[in-house]
Amino acid sequence: MTITDTDRHTDRHLTLLDAGWHMPDAWPGPVHDPEEGTPAERIRAVAASGFASLAIPEAFGGAGADLARTAAAQRALARRDPHAAIALNMHSLTVGLMTDYWERHRDTTSWLLEGIATQNALVASAFAEPGGNANFLSSVSTARREGRGYVVSGTKYPCSLASTATLVCLSARVTGTDDTIIALCPSASPGLRVEGDWPSLGMNASDTAKLVLDEVEIDDRLVFHRAPADSVDDTVIAGIVWFAVLIGATYHGVLTSLLNLAVKTVTTSGRHGPRTVRIGQAARDLLALGGACRQLARDWTDGSLGGEPALATAMALRSSLSDTRDRVVSTLTPVIGSRMYTRGQHAAALHLDSLAAHHHPPSLLACDEAVGAYCTGRPLGFDPSS
């Protein structure tokens, strides 16, 4: 069969990389224009489209999307608007974790999920703290037991969806104990304020800023997890699995867009040669990343993988994401050329946005340490210095 010029200019690379990513039926995909409106307006528009409730069970007003379909939605959004997708990834993680928690415990988490679905509410994730911490489960912020709940003080930074979220999912250490709570806090709570923004190289439209909590009262009913900071229980494992799959899918979308630019550069110019090899190398890396995301999602959902094996797999996936990002960018740079470093170019924006893949916890050392610990029969944790 002879390959014609028309064949060369089809989007077969996208057909290849899109294969297996099945979108939720309840969400048609991103339809907004990423060039219109402020970042906050675009984020709210995505939430209102039904995205905010994708992972919530249908019984509570959501779409009932499982991990794999929620990840596919994250990837689709990242292809259209990386800033919004990276920010909303934390919302998808928190809602997915809460749904997972409800499915295991069948507790009052249901009314929180129903409230999020009813209001298309966004949930920010406030775990990171200034200075960083190898063990992201450990918190400097404090929670003092008082009355029918806790009084929380501390600083969370960086925090995406800082000004657009209705609720904030946060961690804090319970004073006088070794325990850490995970709780939801209404963003309008007295004592909670948003300060500044995040002066990052990329993600400049992700609504990322600093949250300061000054004696913020949180009702007991908004606390859905309490355990020692170093404990690795089912809730922690579920959170890492959801996070690794969602963040992997999100950056898979960003990097797919970068590959798309490279393919268009070659097919438009007709200059193939070694450029074809580079495109093949980048596509191969993205195929492997996408397959790993979808496999972990399926294995987790059907129960064939759980506990420490699931945690080790998720940590390996998170670490592999950073490696894949660097390889794909390095491989495609000679194909795309100076546009990768030119202000105002789409390639440069994707290059910068994808850098954020290295920022997310767990740290790369913690990931590889955990996988090695599992393989050698040692306890898994999130602090490589332990």
Dump pLDDT digits (tens) for 69-119.
Answer: 999 999 999 999 988 899 999 999 999 999 999 999 888 889 899 999 999
Distance CA 5, CA 345 (A): 27
Helix (H, G, I), strand (E, B) or coil at 198: coil
Nearest to 222 by CA among 188, 186, 194: 186
Provide the pLDDT confidence category of residue 136 given band limits of 50, 70 and 90.
Answer: low
Residue 7 is predicted with a pLDDT of 42
Distance CA 319, CA 384 (A): 14
Distance CA 22, CA 326 (A): 26
Q: Taking residues 283-307, report their average pLDDT.
A: 98
Nearest to 264 by CA among 324, 349, 325, 337: 337
Distances (CA, A) of 197 to 160, 206, 285: 10, 10, 33
Residue 40 is predicted with a pLDDT of 86
Residue 289 is predicted with a pLDDT of 98
Distance CA 160, CA 169 (A): 11
Residue 253 is predicted with a pLDDT of 97
pTM of the model: 0.93
Nearest to 336 by CA among 321, 317, 354: 354
User: What does the block give as tokens for 302?
Assistant: 């059907």
Provide the pLDDT confidence category of residue 1 given band limits of 50, 70 and 90.
Answer: very low
Distance CA 132, CA 78 (A): 26
Residue 151 is predicted with a pLDDT of 98
Dump pLDDT digits (tens) for 191-222.
Answer: 999 998 877 776 767 888 999 999 999 999 99
Q: Which residue has the tokens 């998170």?
A: 318
Q: Which residue has the tokens 């050392």?
A: 365
Q: Which residue has the tokens 């703290």?
A: 129
Adjacent-strand bridge partners of 146: 149
Count the Cβ atoms, other than its own, within 10 Å of residue 143: 28
Residue 8 is predicted with a pLDDT of 44
Instruction: Give the percent of the chain with pLDDT over 70.
Output: 94
Identity at 242, one-letter amino acid code: W
Count the Cβ atoms, other than its own, within 10 Å of residue 169: 23
